[in-house]
Chain A
Amino acid sequence: MANLNIKSKQERTFEAIVIGSGISGGWAAKELCDKGVKTLVLERGKDVQHIKDYPTTNLLPFEFDHRGQMPLNDQKENPIANRCYAYREDAAHFFVKDKEHPYVQDSPFDWIRGYQVGGKSLLWARQVQRISDLDFEGPARDGFAVDWPIRYKDLAPWYSHVEKFAGISGNKDGLPELPDGEFLPAYDLNIVEKYFKEQLKKNYGNDRHMIVARCAHISGNAERFQEQGRAQCQNRNLCQRGCPFGGYFSSNSSTLPWAARTGNLTMRPDAVVHSIIYDEEKGKATGVKIIDAHTQEMEEFYAEVIFVNAAALNTNLILLNSTSGRFPDGLGNDNGLMGKYVAFHNYRAGITADYEGHLDYTTTGGRPTTGYFPRFRNLYKQETDFLRGYAAGFTANRQPYSDQRGIGAALKESLLNPDQYGPWRIGSHMMGETIPKESSYVALDTKEKDKWGMPLLRIKMDYDENDEKMIHDYHEQMTEMFEKAGFKNIKTRDDHRAPGLDIHEMGGVRMGHDPKTSLLNKHNQLHAVKNVYVTDGACMTSTATQNPSLTYMALAARAVDHAVKDRKMS
């Protein structure tokens, strides 16, 4: 990779700049480099090289001072990060610490961030479900947000394109609400999950389904991935440490090293993007202004096309901070809607139960995925007193444990020979669509700045009546399905978590047909600045219920294709 100790404008000029190296930025970079475009990737965090920079990846449990638990002083210093399930002793070094990167909560919002090369693609939960037309048509059908300017057929080939490269495990389930893709062999549901699936069929016919979730793991046909230097997933379930096998997809293991091998990639870590430079005479963006994370020096880089993939809310921040005479309120923000209509996924609700059947059985080995309920509410028409619906996770577990009563030799003998099983433990969590609203926003604070001089982001998005009704329905419907399946000891929960812990924040720079009501067109170009593309979560018009990363990847690849064709024609 190029040495960046450079001064001349020519040396700071590329054909394309990608802001952000996470899951969507990595894809933009890979596609650009594959198409012969000299590309600079700007990453605000430190470099993280595949394998070499995974310091905990092969540590054994006893090698962690607190066996994985975060010490109390860290919990007190970083209450937000500590609320994330993956912020543990083995992966804490990949998370943003609260104090280092402050923001303003106009309503409670737990903003989970990963500032490093690869971003949160190192840490993600690797669930990848396609969005269907039942989702793309949602806003138009139900009268919220604006109509998506694309439909499933526009994105389907790009879903296929990214799935083949990333490696996606799954079954062809034949469900219109969750289109099939290019799948590697599926992981198995266990005996009780299969039982529940049959019970759903028996009790609800073809209306409700539980499948094994599609996940970004190389579950077979591993020879296809040798070229990327990746191998089959070993079911370690230690993914958040970074995988030495490249068993799951991340920018670090896949797209970035691939892009580097083309010779067209220049990586610039520790580059905090200040703004995008807009040239009023040319009527287009000409480059990106950065602040060196360590020296605080400002530097400019130039390119013909710019991809903004800084992660949903930071993409909003950069664009809002990119002001000029032509765009005093943020780049491409003629209608004043930039930063508005942000939304998230509602993960507040869950349910647990016991099952006393199949008691002769248990499970062995590891599996990097779970069961998954695609959305079944309001699929084809409005049926409930709330809009849209929810997907849900589903698992059945049975692990042996020890009788831990007493002390002495008998206790030790019991600990060494766990033979107590108990019932199967059943669990599910809700993943609800939320409605983007004008009152939900991110905005720049007019006074407070961070240590790089960037305005702090103010965040406001909260649950509304629709979300509360949906939680109620999830509890009610899951309880009914569990009861019909003969599950006992059913307990619903609402953990009242703040938005943000879903790590599915979206919107603010939404796609749409009309420049008056949206920021991006159907190719993810800013309506008003066509050489700037936004293909991360910021572009989402509505949230659907599916884990969204796969859609960002597909949109990024599709947008690069457009950018390169567009450039050749002009």
Chain B
Amino acid sequence: MNRREALRNLAIITGGIILVPSCNFSQEEVLVAYDNLSIKPSQAELLASIADTIIPATDTKGAADISVQDFILVMVNDCMEQDAQETFTQGLNDFESFSKNAGGKAFLKQERGTRERVITQGMSLEDEDNLHISEFLQITKRMTIQGFMASEYMMTEVRPYSLIPGTYNGEVLISNIDKESING
């Protein structure tokens, strides 16, 4: 059984939240699923909220409805270099205080419009002290798009993906294309 399977099973047993056993109950525990990162449940919640601001629920589900934050954390944990991981976690750590300054209160308590403005503003930060916040948000946006578009929900319910894309046609008028079939 690999780590991922072990965690899946653990997640089933514990109802999704896995905490590191520790004698210090004064602090929030980190999520052990992401062993290269140090992510607390409240940070995962914040990340979910950022992702959901990037891709909100409309007539279809939004990023938080399908837990895109889990995909983002898996990718950052497993596929990114250590320095990029550090940028990501520092950006996540510092985002809340940036958000309070820019949006007047905690991100989770902001209206959607304010959240969008805060994230857009955060993405354009260029000064050296805040560059990691901008980079964190860029990574989060990229991974939110990837995780959402290649999610089970999208690929089965919204834009069904077919393993069999059909016969090749090398001369198709764009004006005749069915826009619903984006997943080949």
Q: Residues of A at under 8 Å CB distance from B?
A: 58, 60-62, 65-67, 69-73, 187-191, 193-194, 234-238, 360-367, 400, 404, 406-409, 411-413, 415-419, 421
Partner of B166, one of A365, A408, A421: A365
Q: Looking at the assembled complex, report how far the CB atom of B58 sits from the nearest CB atom of chain A, in whole angstroms.
A: 6
Contact A365 B174 (CB under 8 A): no
Chain A residues near B179: list those with CB within 8 A: 417, 419
Taking CB atoms, residues of chain A closer than 8 Å to B171 are 190-191, 361, 363
Name the one of A61, A188, A411 contacting B150, with C-beta atoms under 8 angstroms.
A61
Contact, CB under 8 Å: A415 / B54: no
Bound CA span A466–B152, Å: 51
- Specify which of B60, B62, B152, B170 is in contact with A193 (CB 8 Å cutoff): B170
Known: A362-B172, A362-B177. A238 touches B163 (CB 8 A): yes
Closest to A399 in B: B184
Per the bound structure, the CA–CA distance linking A413 and B59 in Å amounts to: 10
Complex A-B, nearest 8 residue pairs according to Cβ-Cβ distance, in ascending order: A190-B170, A367-B168, A366-B165, A365-B166, A71-B78, A365-B168, A191-B171, A407-B54
Q: By the criterion CB–CB under 8 Å, are B169 and A407 in contact? A: no
Closest Cβ–Cβ distance, residue B76 to chain A (whole Å): 10
- With a cutoff of 8 Å between Cβ atoms, the chain A residues found around residue B79 in the complex are 66, 69-72
Nearest-neighbour CB distance to chain A for B174, whole angstroms, equals 5
List residues of B (47-63) whose CB comes within 8 Å of A's CBs: 53-56, 58, 60, 62
Contact call A366/B170, Cβ cutoff below 8 A: no
* Size class of the contact patch on chain B: 35 or more
Q: Report which residue of A58, A188, A412, A421 has the largest number of chain B beta carbons within 10 angstroms of its beta carbon.
A: A412
Instruction: State in angstroms the CA–CA spacing of A205 and B150 once bound together.
Output: 47
Contacts of A194 in B (CB 8 A): 170
Residue B6 interfacial (CB < 8 Å): no
B56 touching A62, Cβ below 8 Å: no
| B155, A61: Cβ atoms closer than 8 Å | yes
What residues on B are CB-neighbors of A362 within 8 Å?
Answer: 172, 174, 177
Given A408-B116, A415-B149, A364:B164 Cβ within 8 A: no
Q: Nearest chain B CB to A234's CB is how many angstroms away?
A: 5
With A60-B152, A364-B177 already in contact, 17 other A-B pairs whose C-beta atoms are closer than 8 Å:
A61-B161, A69-B75, A69-B79, A72-B78, A72-B80, A188-B168, A190-B171, A236-B163, A360-B174, A363-B172, A366-B184, A367-B168, A406-B120, A408-B54, A411-B55, A412-B58, A419-B179
CB pair A361–B120 under 8 Å, yes or no, is: no
* Residue of chain B at shortest CB distance from A369: B168
15 pairs of residues in contact across A and B, judged by CB atoms under 8 Å: A60-B152, A60-B156, A62-B155, A67-B150, A187-B168, A237-B165, A360-B174, A400-B177, A407-B55, A407-B116, A407-B141, A408-B56, A416-B158, A417-B182, A418-B182
Complex contacts, B163 vs chain A, CB 8 Å: 58, 60, 234, 236, 238
Q: How far is the CA of A367 from the CA of B168 in the complex (A)?
A: 6
Per the bound structure, the CA–CA distance linking A409 and B61 in Å amounts to 11
CA of A391 to CA of B148, assembled, Å: 41
Question: Does B119 count as interface, using CB distance less than 8 angstroms?
Answer: yes
Residue-wise, chain B 25-57 has the 8 Å CB interface mask toward A (1 for contact) of 000000000000000000000000000011110
Q: Which residues on A sit within 8 Å (CB–CB) of B112?
A: 408
B60 CB contacts on chain A under 8 angstroms: 412, 416
Q: Does B24 contact A (CB under 8 A)?
A: no
How many angstroms between the C-alpha atoms of A130 and B172 in the bound complex? 32
Closest to B141 in A: A407
In the bound assembly, the distance between CA atoms of A58 and B163 in angstroms comes to 7
What is the minimal beta-carbon distance from B175 to any residue of chain A, in angstroms? 7
Chain B residues contacting A406 (CB-CB under 8 Å) are 120
By beta carbon, the residue of chain B nearest A59 is B163
The listed residue (B81, B120, B151, B174) touching A407 by CB distance below 8 A is: B120
Q: How far is the CB of A19 from chain B (nearest CB, A)?
A: 33
Cβ of B167 within 8 Å of any chain A Cβ, yes or no, is: yes
Q: Which residues of A contact B74 (CB under 8 A)?
A: 65-66
Residues of A within 8 A of B165 (CB): 235-237, 364-366
Does B145 sit within 8 A of A, measured CB to CB?
yes
**Which residues of B (131-157) have their CB < 8 Å from a CB of A?**
141, 145-146, 148-152, 155-156
- Chain A nearest CB from B127 CB (Å) reads 21
Most central of B81, B152, B174, B175 by chain A CB within 10 Å? B174
**B164 and A236 contacting across the interface, CB-CB below 8 Å:** yes
In the complex the two chains form, is A62's CB within 8 Å of B173's CB?
A: no
In the assembled complex, how far is the CB of residue B100 from the closest CB belonging to chain A, in whole angstroms?
20
When distances are taken between beta carbons in the complex, the residues of chain B under 8 Å from A67 are: 146, 150
Q: How far is the CA of A404 from the CA of B146 in the complex (A)?
A: 11
Is the pair B174, A421 in contact by a Cβ cutoff of 8 Å? yes
Cβ contact of A416, chosen from B56, B166, B182, cutoff 8 A: B182
A189 touches B141 (CB 8 A): no
- B182–A407 touching, CB < 8 Å: no
Contact B170 A188 (CB under 8 A): yes
User: Taking the complex as formed, is B109 at the interface, i.e. its CB lies under 8 A from any CB of chain A?
Assistant: no
Contact status B78-A363, CB under 8 Å = no
Within the complex, which residue of A58, A60, A238 is in contact with B155, where a contact is CB–CB below 8 Å? A60
Question: How far does the Cβ of B170 sit from chain A's closest Cβ, in whole Å?
Answer: 3
Chain A residues within an 8 Å CB radius of B4:
65
B168 touches A363 (CB 8 A): yes
8 Å CB contact of A191 from B80, B148, B166, B170: B170
CA distance A237 to B116 in the complex (A): 39
Tell whether B105 is near chain A: CB-to-CB under 8 Å: no
Q: Report the minimal beta-carbon distance from A93 to chain B, rounded to whole angstroms.
A: 12
Q: Which of A71, A365, A418 contacts B169 (CB 8 A)?
A: A365
Task: List the B side residues contacting A235 at CB < 8 Å.
Answer: 164-168
Of B145, B151, B172, the contact of A404 (CB 8 Å cutoff)? B145
Specify the chain B residue showing the minimal Cβ separation from A401: B182
For B155, what are the chain A residues with a Cβ–Cβ distance below 8 Å?
Answer: 60-62
Measured in the bound complex, the distance between the Cα atoms of B179 and A417 in whole Å is 7
B173→A407 contact, CB < 8 A: no
Q: How far, in whole Å, are A73 and B168 apart by their CA atoms in the complex?
A: 38
* A residues in contact with B168, CB < 8 Å: 187-188, 190, 235, 363-367
B158 to chain A: closest residue by CB: A416
Q: How far is the CB of A155 from chain B (nearest CB, A)?
A: 31
Q: Which of the residues B58, B148, B174, B184 comes within 8 Å of A361, measured between beta carbons?
A: B174
The reply to whether A407 and B53 form a contact with Cβ atoms under 8 Å apart is yes
Residues in A with CB closer than 8 Å to B56 are 408-409, 412
How many whole Å from A236's CB to the nearest CB in chain B? 6
Chain B residues with CB under 8 Å of A66's CB are: 74-75, 78-79
Please measure, in the bound complex, the distance between the C-alpha atom of A269 and the C-alpha atom of B165, giving whole angstroms: 35
Instruction: Provide the bound-state CA to CA distance between A407 and B114, in Å.
Output: 12
Query: Given A189-B170, A361-B172, A364-B172, are A411 and B54 also a contact pair (CB < 8 Å)?
Result: yes
- B44 CB to closest chain A CB (Å) equals 17
Which residues of chain B come closer than 8 Å to A411, judged between CB atoms? 54-55
